[in-house]
């Protein structure tokens, strides 16, 4: 059997209707030869049954355990036969042949070794979170000091988010986000996929940085490959989510910040929830942030710091 060009991996967890819409958009907008691998993380909403009924040709892995994002992708990737592995979130919609365009982009820029595109919110406004610059001592300081919030469009003070760049141009980036993440299957296997220490959040950042160190990768994104990614628009900031994020980012600092900078970087980063809770509390007191529960959320994240200060590896 001839191997397909693309192995598209979708990890599903209690997102039945969104997942079905995502899979429909893949079929409607993709002309390249592909195989579809869906791994369901023990959903309780009938996702696996609905996917099996509507997409009988998909490789469906209906798991009895929730493996998290990183492990689930690793498990699914072992079934992949394609030249390229494409990770796609279930809360996405493929627009205007985006996956075909991303594949063509990869073939014309093989030196990048990791490729991504542009994401939009459900209302088709720009969702800038499809790529990031690597964490550094400077951008950790800017985030903890609140400069990223005061100057969100500044590439100096919001460097990690490439502030001011509207994602309308092709560009080399440090990190391609896992909602639409393409690399060759050969490179995925060399790097052994995601590090399972990252259960949720941080896994693609770690993989991109390892690819740069070990394979001399230079990840690139193109605006030609555009999808809708609902997650950033629909998911509210909750303490549990932020605890998981803090845990993952702490692990990234421990692994990828130079050793001589690491103690100060960790101290600054660990102060971020406290500075955020104080800032939101002040805004609330001044009547400038009415109706928000952000201060309470960040206070809870700070109160739960024992859960995230050790990083991800300690929780595996």
- How confident is the model over 65-97, as pLDDT tens digits? 999 999 999 999 999 999 999 999 999 999 999
Residue 120 CA to residue 255 CA, distance in Å, equals 31
pLDDT above 80 (res 231): no
The DSSP secondary structure of 57-106, one letter per residue, reads TSEEEE-SS--HHHHHHHHHHTT--SSEEEEE-TTEEE-TTHHHHHHHHH
Residue 307 CA to residue 316 CA, distance in Å, equals 12
Neighbours of 300 (CB within 10 A): 17
* 199 within 8 A of 307, measured Cβ to Cβ: no
Residue 198 CA to residue 245 CA, distance in Å, equals 10
Residue 154 CA to residue 137 CA, distance in Å, equals 17
Residue 208 CA to residue 256 CA, distance in Å, equals 11
The DSSP secondary structure of 50-69, one letter per residue, reads HHHHH-TTSEEEE-SS--HH
* 254 within 8 A of 247, measured Cβ to Cβ: no
- Rounded to 5°, the CA angle 193-205-235 comes to 105
Read off the tokens for 258.
């130079």
Strands 6-12 and 34-40: parallel
32 contact partners, CB below 8 Å, separation of at least 6: 5, 6, 99, 100, 103
Residue 11 CA to residue 40 CA, distance in Å, equals 6
Residue 35 CA to residue 33 CA, distance in Å, equals 7
172 contact partners, CB below 8 Å, separation of at least 6: 112, 218, 219, 220
pLDDT above 70 (res 107): yes
Can you give the pLDDT at residue 226?
98
Task: Give Cα 38 distance to the centre of its chain.
Answer: 18
Task: Give Cα 192 distance to the centre of its chain.
Answer: 18
pLDDT digits (tens, 9 = 90+) for 34-62: 999 999 999 999 999 999 999 999 999 99
Candidates 79, 87, 102; CA nearest to 222 is 102
Helices (H) and strands (E) in the chain, counts: 13, 12
240 contact partners, CB below 8 Å, separation of at least 6: none
Q: 20 to each of 54, 207, 276, how far by Cα in Å?
A: 8, 28, 37
What is the longest distance spanned by two Cα atoms in the chain? 67
* Residue 282, CA atoms < 13 Å, CB-side half-sphere: 7
Can you give the pLDDT at residue 245?
93
pLDDT above 80 (res 127): yes
In the chain, what percentage of residues exceed pLDDT 90? 85
Please, what is the average pLDDT of the chain?
Answer: 93
Residue 278 phi/psi, 5-degree rounding, is: -70, -40
pLDDT digits (tens, 9 = 90+) for 260-274: 999 999 999 999 999
20 contact partners, CB below 8 Å, separation of at least 6: 50, 51, 54
Can you give the pLDDT at residue 293?
60
* 37 within 8 A of 7, measured Cβ to Cβ: yes
């Amino acid at each position: 059997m001839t191997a397909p060009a693309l192995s598209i991996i979708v990890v599903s967890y209690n997102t039945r209707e969104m997942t079905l819409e995502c899979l429909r958009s893949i079929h409607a907008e993709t002309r390249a030869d592909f195989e579809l691998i869906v791994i369901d993380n023990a959903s309780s909403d009938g996702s696996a049954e609905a996917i099996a009924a509507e997409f009988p040709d998909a490789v469906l892995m209906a798991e009895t355990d929730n493996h998290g994002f990183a492990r689930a992708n690793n498990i699914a990737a072992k079934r992949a036969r394609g030249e390229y592995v494409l990770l796609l979130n279930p809360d996405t919609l493929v627009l205007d042949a985006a996956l075909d365009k991303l594949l063509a982009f990869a073939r014309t820029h093989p030196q990048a070794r990791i490729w991504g595109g542009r994401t939009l919110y459900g209302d088709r406004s720009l969702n800038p979170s499809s790529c990031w610059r690597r964490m550094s001592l400077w951008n950790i300081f800017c985030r903890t000091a609140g400069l990223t919030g005061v100057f969100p469009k500044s590439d100096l003070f919001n460097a990690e988010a490439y502030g001011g760049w509207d994602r309308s141009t092709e560009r080399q980036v440090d990190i391609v986000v896992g909602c639409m993440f393409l690399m060759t299957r050969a490179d995925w296997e060399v790097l052994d996929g995601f590090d399972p220490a990252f259960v949720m959040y941080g896994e693609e950042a770690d993989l991109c940085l390892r690819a740069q160190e070990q394979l001399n990768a230079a990840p690139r994104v193109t605006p030609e490959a555009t999808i809708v990614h609902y997650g950033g628009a629909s998911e509210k900031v909750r303490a549990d989510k932020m605890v998981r994020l803090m845990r993952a980012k702490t692990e990234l600092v421990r692994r990828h910040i130079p050793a001589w900078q690491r103690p100060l970087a960790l101290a600054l980063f660990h102060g971020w929830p406290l500075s955020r809770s104080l800032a939101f509390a002040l805004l609330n007191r001044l009547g400038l942030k009415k109706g928000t529960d952000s201060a309470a959320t960040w206070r809870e994240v700070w109160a739960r710091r024992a859960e995230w200060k050790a990083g991800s590896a300690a929780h595996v």
